Structure 1
Amino acid sequence: MRITEIDLEIEDIEWYGIDENGRIAQFTSGGSKMVPEFICESRESLDLVSEFFENFNPDIVEEVTFSEEASKYPRKEYLQECKKISQKGLYCFDISDEEVITGGYILICKPSYELLISDLPETIQSILLNYKMPNINFMNNKIISIETAY
């Protein structure tokens, strides 16, 4: 089933992307409607990937690095959730009210150990290959601008 424009208005969509080097990031839309077409195409695919990462527990808990922009998010509970995501090897991006205007997601934190698409089971790889973001490098880009589905 497709994720609709109305869904994006009322839901805080957590979605994923793959950069040009196979790194993985989680993005949180904050109900902003700033979600790319490749995510809106299939809620079922997104749900499978989300469930995989929610249940994914690497053997080693890695340290993470918070960006300077993370200070815009004062809630400690939220930053702890971001930390948990990056401890799994994923980059964590979010969109604040300021960035909704420009369509840019800001880096909240990054992992010390990067999980790559090649490290994942084939079923998840096959979905994530559709989430590739050309000319994007999560390690170097502190702001990621996207073309939205709606």
Structure 2
Amino acid sequence: MNLDVPYPFLDLDWFFIDIEGRIAHAASGGGKLPVSISQNYPYDFLLTFFKSLPSLGDPEVNPRLEKYVTFRNDKERKQYLASFIQMAQRGLYSFDKSDVTRTLDGRYHLVASPKIKLSIAMLPPEVASQLSITKINRRIEEINSLEVSEVA
């Protein structure tokens, strides 16, 4: 585990972009964070910004979600999906840590995809500059799961 990464045991929302400038949200589940996330990472600023955006339409829930998460009933599934759907409604791909019981495990899975995709070019400069620090060298629309070490 990278001990330089802040708050490694808190469930934090962090964001990254892909090679095309598409934006993703990830919930850390108290686990590993990308090395690019520093003590000065603007968690609250970015989360507040994205939550303030209007909905761009209903997202698509990952049809393979049950490969990663087991739900006892529909109510539990709905509660789990709520925050991920909220991010996807705002144009972000939304990921969750795959195994929250293993802090050092860096695997994440896609929870929801946006209908209308937001890109970094559509954002105010102060938001875009913060997002551009954390990137993955893949096309996000082709990702069903990822390893946090892929995000730099």
TM-score normalised per structure 1? 0.81
Runs of 4+ in 1 over 4 A off after TM superposition: 3-6, 98-102
Report what 1:22 is aligned to: 21
Q: Superposed, which structure 2 residues align to 1:1-150 within 5 Å?
A: 7-9=7-9, 11-32=10-31, 34-43=32-41, 45-58=42-55, 61-71=56-66, 72=69, 74=71, 75=76, 76-97=78-99, 100=102, 103-133=106-136, 135-147=137-149
Does the CA-based 8 Å contact 1:90-1:110 persist in structure 2?
A: yes
Which amino acid letter does the alignment assign opposite residue 37 of structure 1? V
Cα offset for 1:48? Answer: 1.7
Which amino acid letter does the alignment assign opposite residue 59 of structure 2? V
CA pair 6-17 structure 1, distance change in 2 beyond 3 A: closer
The structure richer in helix per residue is: 1
SS at match of 1:130: coil
TM-score normalised per structure 2? 0.81
Does the CA-based 8 Å contact 1:64-1:112 persist in structure 2?
A: yes
Does the CA-based 8 Å contact 1:99-1:105 persist in structure 2?
A: no
Cα offset for 1:124? Answer: 0.4
- Aligned-residue CA RMSD (Å): 2.5
Cα offset for 1:51? Answer: 1.7
Cα offset for 1:138? Answer: 1.1
- The answer for unaligned runs of 5 or more in structure 1 is none
Larger CA deviation: 102-111 vs 85-94: 102-111
The alignment-based identity, stated in percent, is: 28
Aligned residues: 141
